[in-house]
Amino acid sequence: MGHRIIIVDDHPLFRAALRQTLEGEENGYAFEEAGDIDGLLEALETDRDCDLVLLDLNMPGVRGFSGLLLLRAQFPEIPVMIISAVEDQAVIKRCFDLGAAGYLSKSEGAEAIRSSIDTVLSGELWVPEGISLEGEDEQTEMLARLATLTPQQVRVLMMLSDGLMNKQIAYELSISEATVKAHVSAILQKLNVDSRTQAVIAASKIEQGQFAQLVDGE
């Protein structure tokens, strides 16, 4: 049986180019594509048997690392490799802190792409040359706390960050306001903060001055 790999990027031309690069090899890879995080989640909810997700960080419907965070929370058994134009070391390290199995620059050539995918499929990490995963900074603890959120809690936190009120979140997720309040309480406890405003600020600090600015230049 071949490996099932899902390419997730909002640019159809990039998905097609990446797929063409990989399909030319006799490696038994079976590829699927998704243009956004919702398409990916739908594909995985239909069939969780996936060997690797190739995920772009910057797509409509996600904020910074939220796509990776949501995917790792909902499907922790599926390896995720980030493929991005962002090459900042802090961003790359944060992705690994949140559970990425690899990080690949979109500027890499075909051989590096194939090698990185083979490495991750073999169960190893693919870390870009010159990137160190050692050491901690002031955001490391918050990243670890964010990684404990459930998929629904990640969604609620994303919506809190977008300024939605409990009633609006309940409508968007088709749940009761009481359930939203329970999720918010759990988020505050897991992030060790006292208010929803503090939770949003804590989450935004992960991106502030780093990912948020870098993706503007993609």
How many helices (H) and strands (E) the chain has is answered by 11, 5
Instruction: Please check the confidence at residue 211 and state whether its pLDDT lies above 60.
Output: no
Asked if residue 206 and residue 157 are part of one domain, the reply reads yes
130 lies in a domain? no
Query: pTM of the entire structure?
Result: 0.80
Residues in Cβ contact with 182 at an 8 Å cutoff, skipping those fewer than 6 apart: none
Question: CATH number of the domain that 63 lies in?
Answer: 3.40.50.2300
9 within 8 A of 20, measured Cβ to Cβ = no
Comparing 96 with 24, the larger pLDDT belongs to 96
Domain count, the chain: 2
10 lies in a domain? yes
Range of the domain at 194: 140-212
Report DSSP letters for 18-68, one per residue.
HHHHHHTSSS--EEEEESSHHHHHHHHHH----SEEEE-S--TT--TTHHH
Q: Rounded CA gap, 218 and 211, in Å? A: 11
128 lies in a domain? no
Q: What is the pLDDT of residues 143-184, one digit of tens each?
A: 888 888 898 998 898 888 888 999 999 999 999 999 999 999
Asked if residue 113 and residue 150 are part of one domain, the reply reads no
Asked if residue 175 and residue 89 are part of one domain, the reply reads no
110 lies in a domain? yes
126 lies in a domain? no
Instruction: Please check the confidence at residue 209 and state whether its pLDDT lies above 60.
Output: no
CB atoms within 10 A of CB 164: 16
199 within 8 A of 145, measured Cβ to Cβ = no
What is the torsional sign of CA 64, 66, 67, 68?
A: positive
Residues in Cβ contact with 210 at an 8 Å cutoff, skipping those fewer than 6 apart: 88, 90, 91, 94
Q: Residue 159 is encoded by which pair of tokens?
A: 């919506």
134 lies in a domain? no
Q: Picking from 122-126, 180-184, 201-205, which range would have the lowest pLDDT averaged per residue?
A: 201-205
